[in-house]
Amino acid sequence: MNLIPQWQQLWKMYSVQLSALLVALNLAATYWPAFQGVLPAGVFTAVNSFLGLAVIISRIIKQPELSADKPTV
């Protein structure tokens, strides 16, 4: 297994940021009692589906600031 060239800039990647948001929303919906029941199940499912698709799409978007040619600090 090899790391991607930009592994040190991982948190700048759109796909990683969206994935973290998706995980945070699911954790809140599962473990935070005040959040449970606020949204109907259908809306929550649609939001999860949209964010999952956004993760996939964001992975193919080129981010010039993460170019492998630039040296990492």
- Is residue 52 included in any domain, yes or no? yes
Looking at residue 56, its pLDDT comes to 94
Question: What is the phi/psi pair of residue 2, to 5°?
Answer: -120, 145
Looking at residue 71, its pLDDT comes to 56
Looking at residue 55, its pLDDT comes to 94
- Is residue 73 included in any domain, yes or no? no
- Is residue 17 included in any domain, yes or no? yes
Looking at residue 23, its pLDDT comes to 95
* Alpha-carbon gap, residue 8 to 33, rounded angstroms: 36
Number of residues in the chain: 73
Task: Provide the domain count of the chain.
Answer: 1
**Residue 42 Cα distances to 17, 46, 47, 49, 51, angstroms:** 24, 6, 9, 10, 14
- Is residue 46 included in any domain, yes or no? yes
- Is residue 69 included in any domain, yes or no? no
Looking at residue 28, its pLDDT comes to 85
- Is residue 57 included in any domain, yes or no? yes
Domain that holds residue 19: 10-63
- DSSP one-letter code for 72: P
pLDDT beneath 50, residues of the chain? 73
- Is residue 27 included in any domain, yes or no? yes
